[in-house]
Amino acid sequence: MNNTETQSIYKNIQNAITSAGKKLGFSDATITNITEPYNVINQSVLVPEIGKEIDMYRVQFNNALGPYKGGIRFHPDVDLDEVKTLAVTMMLKCSLIGIPLGGAKGGATINPREYSEQQIEAVARTWARTMSTYIGVDKDIPAPDVNTNGQIMSYMLDEFEKTVGRSEPGVITGKPIELGGSLGRTQATSQGGVYVLEKILEFMPELAGDKKIIIQGFGNVGSFAAIILKNLGFTIVGISDSRGAIYKDSGFDVESIADEKNTSRTSLHEMFADVDDVQKISNEDLLVQPCDILIPAALENQITELNADDISAKVILELANNPTNTKADAILKEKGVVLIPDFLANAGGVTVSYFEWVQNRQQYYWTAKEVDERLFAIMNKATDAVYTLSQKESLTLREAGFQIAVERVGKAASLRGNK
């Protein structure tokens, strides 16, 4: 995304928090407290292994509800506005689902594809050393995000513990099981999103239609969502990767596609090149194909004023962060499309990260069943609250979600004296 688009998403979120805060009767001081970051750490740090300085970021947006929490992204487009946008979204997400954590985000401006595994390890270790005085189990708990994973969290944990001279597994989540990771974390975002979707369809069963689903993005989140939903009886009629989309009205065997994707670098178009009854289309075309439910699970800013009118889905489940821009939001509202917002739909990931942190603090580990039951309980409760408020006050689910999230974090900030 370009810088202007990111700035405008950030401004729109700040405006939405301000208008929810005003409606709730919060003072200007409280509203300022929850619309601006508490700490911004932005340093250019030399990484000798790659022979240059790398911009490293941590934005600690707000910790009124608990320690800061948010992932670390390694991407060439990472800049301060993007990190701030993702950090405020984390604040809202933790507040909305009612977990005792604040909002943060981090990053390093690099293209991981240009570097070796050893060089990426050096960047990860440098990030952890640079941020070691700012993060901690009771301060700020990072996690993986785009282009970072359990291995990178392992390097960061190791470097942090060497720097501070003690064991502190709860300083970082998204770790492999062997280092204190939680069962259920890998599919948590998708599973949480499916629980939210099922609850909404329980309230509005007519929206399920023929249960035909299109999913944009077939990475971690999109592929697990596809498999879980297919096993529940939905038909996955369209999927895509960065190189294109495929569509088939009778549906795909998404489990075997995921298996092939995990073992080869073949694109979906290549995989189905010789299959006549599968349409090979672009990612843009995929979004407007016939379906009942559309799930963006790839990138920001995919549903815009340019395509919102043509979307046929009656429900949109935002598993990606910020996939819909403000103009598209207004068009979809006008059309009566039920849009389940990102900070509810994809909150299963941070919820299981929270469980990982709790388990690390207790040094006592839960079964997969315990993790899943607790995830279900949190997602269900949050969805119920959002839906009920939306009905009571004739709000969209996004507006209702904002109101609940802003109310909780705003009250916490104001009780602390920011009033």
Residues identified as active-site: 105
Strands (E), 111-243: 140-144, 212-216, 235-241
Asked whether position 299 contacts ligand NAD by CB under 6 A, the answer is: yes
In sequence order, what are the residues at sequence separation of 6 or more whose Cβ sits closer than 8 angstroms to the Cβ of residue 72?
105, 106, 107, 108, 127, 142, 143, 144, 145, 148, 152, 156
> Binding segment for ligand NAD among 19-27, 247-255, 297-305, 378-386 (CB under 6 A)?
297-305
Nearer to ligand NAD, 26 or 357 (CB): 357
12-71 residues in contact with ligand NAD (CB under 6 A) are none
Asked whether position 319 contacts ligand NAD by CB under 6 A, the answer is: yes
Asked whether position 241 contacts ligand NAD by CB under 6 A, the answer is: yes
Please give the size of the binding site for ligand NAD, defined by CB under 6 A. 21
Nearer to ligand NAD, 320 or 405 (CB): 320
Asked whether position 320 contacts ligand NAD by CB under 6 A, the answer is: yes
Of 83, 228, 297, 317, which lies in the binding site for ligand NAD, with binding defined by CB under 6 A?
A: 297
* Residue 38 CA: distances (Å) to CA of 163, 260, 368: 25, 45, 36
403-414 residues labelled b (16+ CB within 10 A) or e (exposed): bbbbbbbbbbbb
From the list 165, 220, 138, 199, the residue with the least C-alpha distance to 382 is: 199
Of 216, 359, 383, 403, which lies in the binding site for ligand NAD, with binding defined by CB under 6 A?
A: 216
* DSSP β-ladder status, 140-144 and 68-74: parallel
Of 100, 209, 219, 290, which lies in the binding site for ligand NAD, with binding defined by CB under 6 A?
A: 219
Tokens 């805060």 belong to residue? 21
> Binding segment for ligand NAD among 123-131, 149-157, 217-225, 401-409 (CB under 6 A)?
217-225
Q: What are the backbone angles phi and psi of residue 314, rounded to the nearest 5°?
A: -95, -15
Min. distance of Cβ 30 from ligand NAD in angstroms?
27
Q: Do residues 116 and 50 touch, judged by C-beta distance below 8 A?
A: no
Asked whether position 282 contacts ligand NAD by CB under 6 A, the answer is: no
What crossing angle do the helices spanning 80-97 and 368-392 adopt, rounded to 10°? 90
What is the end-to-end Cα distance of the chain in Å, rounded? 36
- What does the alpha-carbon distance between residue 197 and residue 176 come to, in Å, rounded to a whole number? 28
Interface mask toward ligand NAD for 145-174; x: CB under 6 A:
-x----------------------------
Min. distance of Cβ 242 from ligand NAD in angstroms?
4
* Residue 40 CA: distances (Å) to CA of 32, 87, 269, 321, 363: 16, 10, 42, 21, 31
Nearer to ligand NAD, 33 or 89 (CB): 89
Min. distance of Cβ 346 from ligand NAD in angstroms?
4
Asked whether position 131 contacts ligand NAD by CB under 6 A, the answer is: no
> Binding segment for ligand NAD among 10-18, 22-30, 295-303, 397-405 (CB under 6 A)?
295-303
Nearer to ligand NAD, 65 or 239 (CB): 239
Task: State the amino acid at position 81 in one-letter form.
Answer: D
Q: Do residues 384 and 202 touch, judged by C-beta distance below 8 A?
A: no
> Can you tell me whether residue 105 is helix, strand or coil?
strand
- What does the alpha-carbon distance between residue 147 and residue 153 come to, in Å, rounded to a whole number? 11
> Can you tell me whether residue 188 is helix, strand or coil?
helix
342-401 residues in contact with ligand NAD (CB under 6 A) are 346, 349
Asked whether position 239 contacts ligand NAD by CB under 6 A, the answer is: no
Min. distance of Cβ 163 from ligand NAD in angstroms?
27
Asked whether position 218 contacts ligand NAD by CB under 6 A, the answer is: yes
> Binding segment for ligand NAD among 52-60, 293-301, 358-366, 409-417 (CB under 6 A)?
293-301
Of 133, 242, 264, 367, which lies in the binding site for ligand NAD, with binding defined by CB under 6 A?
A: 242
> Binding segment for ligand NAD among 227-235, 247-255, 319-327, 379-387 (CB under 6 A)?
319-327
Residues that bind ligand NAD (CB under 6 A): 146, 189, 216-222, 240-242, 283, 297-299, 319-321, 346, 349
